Amino acid sequence: MQDVTIYTTAWCPFCIRAKMLLDHKQIPYSEIKVDGDPAKRQEMTKLSGGHTVPQIFIGETPIGGCDDMFALERQGKLDEMLNAS
């Protein structure tokens, strides 16, 4: 299974929703909190091209935010990406 990394802030409802989906699917993930940490937020923006949270990565691939991950789930593509070698 591919590693999942999610950049978040504590007060973001989309971050909470994205983590709930990962938890529901029992997918382990690394969470990087960017609250009050400009260097981490800059790292997130550089890696993902996005400036809003959450920014979600499967392996080294940025998949976007919460809505993007739910779209992949609806299309049946999230599991494919997670299980790709």
Helix (H, G, I), strand (E, B) or coil at 64: strand
Q: What is the pLDDT of residue 80?
A: 94
Are the CB atoms for 22 and 37 separated by under 8 Å? no
Residue 10 CA to chain centroid, in angstroms? Answer: 14
Q: What is the pLDDT of residue 27?
A: 95
| Mean pLDDT in consecutive groups of 10 residues from the start of the chain, 85 residues | 94 97 96 95 95 96 97 96 84
- Arch. (CATH architecture) of 4-83: 3-Layer(aba) Sandwich (3.40)
Q: What is the pLDDT of residue 85?
A: 61
Q: What is the pLDDT of residue 1?
A: 81
Q: Where are the domains of the chain?
A: 4-83
User: In angstroms, rounded to a whole number, what is the distance separating the alpha carbons of residues 16 and 31?
Assistant: 11
Dihedral pair phi/psi, residue 71, rounded to 5°: -65, -45
Burial of residue 44 (CB within 10 Å: 0-12, 13-18, 19+) is: buried
